[in-house]
Structure 1
Amino acid sequence: MASTSDNIQVPIAQFHKHGLQLRSGSPSSQVPVEDAPRKRSKVKTGCYTCKARRVKCDEAKPWCQRCIKFGVDCDGYPAPKGPPRVSKHLRPRDPRALAPLARRTVIYSMEPARLFEDEQEGRCFRIYCEEMAYQIKGPFKTSLWNRLIPQVSEAEPFIRHAIIALGAMKKITHGPDNAGGDFQLRPSNASDFFYALRQYEKALQGMRQNIADGRKDIQKALIACILVFCFETMTNKMNNAVVNAESGLLLLHSWMRENLPNHVGCNPSKEWQDHRIEEDLMIAFSGLDLQLLFFRDGRPRRTHEYVISSADGSIAQMPAEFGTLKAAHNFWMLIMRRNYHFIVMVLGQGKASEMCGPLMHGDAPYEDCVNIFPGGNIFSTPKEPPFELFPACMRYCDDIAKWTKATAKGFAETEATGTEEEKVLLALLKIHSIMGPIMLTSAFFTTQTAYDQYLSEFRKIVSLCEWVLPRLMASAAGKAVYHFDLGVLIGLFLVGARCRDLVLRNRVIDLLLCCKLREGFWDSAAAGLFIVWARDLDEEGRDENGEIPEERRWFITSAYVDMDKQKCLVSATQKALDGLKFKHKEIFW
């Protein structure tokens, strides 16, 4: 399919080109502490925040000036009472249709008749707010998707059109006419699909006009970036998504160098709030950074060095104990980013690209595909590891151990009394923290048998994934689920690619192929079929003792992926006794 978005240049890089300067944006999330409690009468009108604080609201739109003045989040206004101003089709859907893990929080209330051009826009916007926002965020604690983004869209049409486009995509995947339950274009959903593309075009046009008018706002630019990323990955335009993510992160790093020159070793949350940028948005960009690191990262070494040095100072100030699960998660994101930038740098220095067959350097086999190349992917295998960097690797493993100790008490309390959603987040944090030392040390592995020492850790990862995955997919009813953040798929891929225990590998394959889960770039079906091929190659070399010797083991090195046509050309390498051997296979799903 040649989508309408194929010929549209993703505009986020233009924000960087024009040099953003900060303009008043969303209110800070810091709530002032009052000197002494005093009796207040019940407040019946105004925004949710003022009513909760029992203070008089000035009822300004889109958010009240009192909240802005006092530096608190304005959570918007209740929907007007009385006769509805829009069609009955815009009424909230049955909460039972939402994922069991979704916890409803207040979202920004809007006036559809004033903001939307037609009923379909209002309907898709409502679908985003009531369903898609909760699906995109997954089990992670954030108000970005269901509060901040809808709130900002009241005053910014291009963000509103992007929201409508995402709502239309949710309608496609979970509509009655989509037998496949995925993000693919079919005759049965063509009308909704092209409606989503038209709304996306309007969003891109608005972003360009925003630049042309000289309206430069860093928070809106960053929100635009993550919404574009979501739409491009949902519509399988992975090259566009890579370019957009790289441009958005370049913009953020440039802005930080200019506006936060002393941020190294300081509390970044406080500094972001001083510039009226919400912490949840910055955490989302940490997630976007990890998406690139785990999919295809072609950024220069200086970018990795910048992130590593920026994070080192803050990680050195790790608290002895985390007060909340969200605090533990946010700090873990900082550790993950630092560690995986280090790993990509190590693999690039370790000549991982020389472990791939000649196809990597040839012409792309498909017209519109992403080349996931060794050295630019976190799962690459080095040829000559730079062992002078190994002491840093050990320090980073120590940081993971310190984080694990600092979270022990909070994790135990969550396991005992936490909600289902909190327990899912806890399990994901455990999966990623178990992965951490494996990924760090294996960046220096030149053999596949070295991974055998981690069999116990691999079993823990799979067991946790077996518990988490059904809960993530509980309400999907066989339909596709899209999460912005990385979750279970990278852990399952690590085990499937590196573990030669056949029983465990088959459990991984079963998990990946039993669901329709997309985590940003990562697709469960594609990952599962990669592992099927890797397993089949290895099983050919299993000897009479049930072992697979080093010279008979294969490891995946690169792939040309065309998500739109659901196919890829994947390559693998074997370090045979007589030299490197290569195989390639075209996979369809």
Structure 2
Amino acid sequence: MGRGNAATDLGLTRRPKKTKSRTGCRTCKIRKVKCDEGWPTCHRCASTGRTCDGYGIWGGGDNPRSQGGVSGQNNHPVLRLTTPASPRVLDAAERDCFEWFTLISAKKLRGIFSSAFWDKLVFQASFDEPAVLHAVLAIGSIQRQEMAETRDVTYGFMVPNDDEQFMLRHYSKAIGHLVAQSQVKDQPSVDAVLLTCLLFIFLEFLRGHYKNAQTHLGNGLKLIRQAGCSLSKSGKSNITLSPRHRIDRDILETFSRVQVQVGLLRPLDQYFESDLVFEAEPVTGTFKSIEQARESLDRLINEALQLTEGCRQDGVDESSHQQRIRTGLDAWYNTYSLSTVNIDTTMSFMDKFGYRLLQAYYTMARWRTAYVELFYRTLILDICRLIAQARSSP
């Protein structure tokens, strides 16, 4: 006679194993119960008198220790490590790529302007979100190939080398994690998906696949619309239609800036989708920082791009809107001129270079507003000025 199962012989039944909550608050994850993901604290914790420890890097919770997460109010936490330790368990090649991304890729993609997205949010998310981690490794790999000049841009017609296979493998894993999570009840947070989408956009730009990058951009904007998020006219905070659809402000601003880049560099006859538009706020006196100057100009450029597309699609007379944008651009340039009086004597090299770069963006914004009336002849002087700026830049 077989021994059988002791629990069955005694008439006992096994307690069904609880599934771990993937996207809930930390308290529910520890308790291994389903979290309703209420904001800022989940209702399950509140109704049982427990302290909600929040949602990791996405903030929330009623525990003071959990308030250090990134929020939509720009209260950015300070990382304790200058170079974050590698998240999860990585092999040697993956650790090398993560370190490369940390020390080089993130700084180059950020550019000369500060960015909470690249300086903090991406690194924090790579510890909690597998899709973000694999996208980070893919970017680190491809940029290391570019800088080492070992990547053949014609690889699409050849068998990918080991480095290319490494990049494609992690790109595929990042997509796979998002697909797998979307097929279960505990779907990934909107923030995690949008952050990964942004990394895909930059990855495709680095690969030279601009149409793919624009496809990712369109998908990200579509998800933002589906989440019911629209930006307030003042641009000071998120519009939250429900706790589950709260989107981090740094992610929204990064999408907005990608729109600016794509909009300025696209062919004039190509459709442009401009959903995220912060209304430009007036600045008096001088800019307090180069970041303020950039943010103010970005908003004006986005408005100009939206105006151009609206006139093309609808044929509506937007002359008053156009004049308002031009007035805003003129006011921006006056403030810029006052802010850069002593550019060669008092500013750091990076600020000096940044202000000159902003002047080039300003010139391109003037082109876009002039496009509405097709006054290209009046822009010859601007073109000459832009070329001169590029030649004189350090």
The question of a shared fold, defined as TM-score above 0.5 by the shorter chain, is answered with: yes
Distance (whole Å) between structure 2 residues aligned to residue 290 and residue 229 of structure 1: 14
1:100-141 Cα offsets, whole Å, 9 max, x none, are xxxxxx35x22x3x6233111111011111111111112222
Q: In the alignment, which of 293, 310, 313 is matched to residue 345 of structure 1?
A: 310
Select which of 320, 342, 349 maps to 1:420: 349
Aligned with 1:227 (options 196, 199, 208): 199
Distance in 2 between residues matched to 1:167 and 1:402, nearest whole Å: 40
Partner residue, 2:209: 237
> Aligned partners of 1:319 and 1:428: how far apart in 2?
19
1:76 to 79, 91, 97: 79
Q: Does 2:258 correspond to 1:288?
A: yes
Per-residue deviation, residues 311-358 of structure 1 (Å, max 9, x unmatched) = 4xx33x4232432210121121111111111112223456xxxxxxxx
- Give deviations 1:472-502, integer Å, cap 9, x for gaps: xxxxxxxxxxxxxxxxxxxxxxxxxxxxxxx
> CA shift at 1:245, angstroms?
0.7
Superposed, 1:317-466 pairs within 5 Å as: 317-321=281-285, 322-349=287-314, 388-445=317-374, 450-466=375-391
Deviations 1:420-468 (A, max 9, x none): 11112111111111222232123222xxxx5333222212111111233
Alpha-carbon distance between aligned partners in 2 of 1:404 and 1:226, rounded to the nearest angstrom? 30
CA distance in 2, matches of 1:68, 1:232: 29
Question: Which sections of structure 1, spanning at least 5 residues, go unmatched?
Answer: 1-19, 29-57, 59-63, 79-105, 351-385, 472-589
Query: Would you say the 8 A contact 1:125–1:164 is kept in 2?
Result: yes
TM-score by length of 1: 0.50
Question: For residue 190 of structure 1, what is the aligned residue in structure 2?
Answer: 161
Per-residue Cα deviation, 1:277-333 (whole angstroms, up to 9, x for no partner): 55443221112222443437546xxx65x65xx64xx33x42324322101211211
Matches within 5 A, 1:479-558: none
Q: For the Cα contact (< 8 Å) 2:229–2:239, is it kept in 1?
A: no
- Indicate how the Cα distance of structure 1 residues 411 and 74 shifts in structure 2: closer, same or farther if over 3 A, else same: same
Structure 1's 184 and 399: CA in aligned 2 closer, same or farther, altered over 3 A?
A: farther
Q: Within 5 Å, give how 1:201-220 maps onto structure 2.
A: 201-213=172-184, 214-220=186-192
Shift of 1:253: 3.4
Distance verdict in 2 for CA 1:176–1:397, change over 3 Å: closer
What per-residue deviation string (whole Å, max 9, x for no partner) do you get for residues 72-93 of structure 1?
4333344xxxxxxxxxxxxxxx
For 1:416 and 1:22, the matched residues in 2 are separated by 49
Cα 1:144/1:415, change in 2 over 3 Å: farther
With over 3 angstroms needed to count, the CA separation of the structure-2 counterparts of 1:259 and 1:444, relative to structure 1, is: closer
SS in 2 for 1:453: helix
Deviation at 1:185, TM superposition (A): 6.1
Identity %: 16
> In structure 2, what is the equivalent of residue 156 of structure 1?
129
Using a 3 Å threshold, how does the CA distance of structure 1 residues 292 and 267 change in structure 2: closer, same or farther? closer
Alignment-derived partner of residue 169 in structure 1: 142
Counterpart in the other structure of 2:10: none
The amino acid that maps onto 1:461 is L
TM-score (norm 2): 0.73
Aligned pairs (5 A) from 1:564-583: none
CA distance in 2, matches of 1:131, 1:224: 19
Q: Is the 8 A contact 1:137 1:145 kept in 2?
A: yes
The Cα shift of 1:244 comes to 1.3
Alpha carbons 1:339, 1:396 under 8 Å: kept: yes
Kept in 2, the 8 Å contact 1:133–1:145? The answer is yes
Alpha-carbon spacing, 1:254–1:409, altered in 2? closer, same or farther (3 Å): farther
CA distance in 2, matches of 1:147, 1:282: 15
CA contact 1:184–1:235 (8 Å) conserved in 2? no
C-alpha distance in 1 between matches for 2:221 and 2:343: 33
Aligned partners of 1:123, 1:320: CA distance in 2, in Å? 47
In the alignment, the residues of structure 1 paired with residue 300 and residue 96 of structure 2 have an alpha-carbon distance, to the nearest angstrom, of 40
- How far off is 1:151 after superposition? 1.2
More strand by share: 1
Equivalent residues in 2 for 1:269-308, closer than 5 Å = 269=237, 278-293=248-263, 294-295=265-266, 298=271
Q: Which residue of 1 aligns with 2:103?
A: 130
* Contact 1:185/1:193, CA 8 A, preserved across alignment: no
Q: How many equivalent pairs are there?
A: 330
Letter in 2 for 1:442: Y
* Contact 2:229–2:247, Cα closer than 8 Å, also in 1: no
Displacement of 1:69 after TM fit? 11
**8 Å contact 2:360–2:386 — kept in the other structure?**
yes
Superposition deviation, residue 230 in structure 1: 1.4
Gaps of 5+ in 2: 1-36, 41-54
Structure 1 residues 69 and 395, CA gap change in structure 2 (3 angstroms): closer
Q: Which has the higher contact order (CA 8 A, sep 6+)?
A: 1
More helix by share: 2
The corresponding residue for 1:268 is 236
Report if the CA contact (8 A) 1:161-1:202 is conserved: yes
